[in-house]
Amino acid sequence: MSKRELIDCICEINRSAKPEFLANFSEEELNTYLEHLMELDVEELAVSC
């Protein structure tokens, strides 16, 4: 995934995230953060069911 795609995915999950802020991080850091957000998202779905 490109840096832009990572930022777009992060912003879809974390609507308070600003693309300008996220652009300061490396692709590796963004990918790690996105993985973390996706884990949280799955946990939230499991708890709400």
- 1-49: per-residue pLDDT in tens? 999 999 999 999 999 999 999 999 999 999 999 999 999 876 666 666 5
Alpha-carbon separation of residue 2 from 6, 20, 31 (angstroms): 6, 16, 10
- What pTM, to 2 d.p., does this model score? 0.82
pLDDT score of 49? 59
pLDDT score of 40? 86
pLDDT score of 34? 97
The C-alpha atoms of residue 39 and residue 22 are separated, in whole angstroms, by 19
The C-alpha atoms of residue 27 and residue 24 are separated, in whole angstroms, by 10
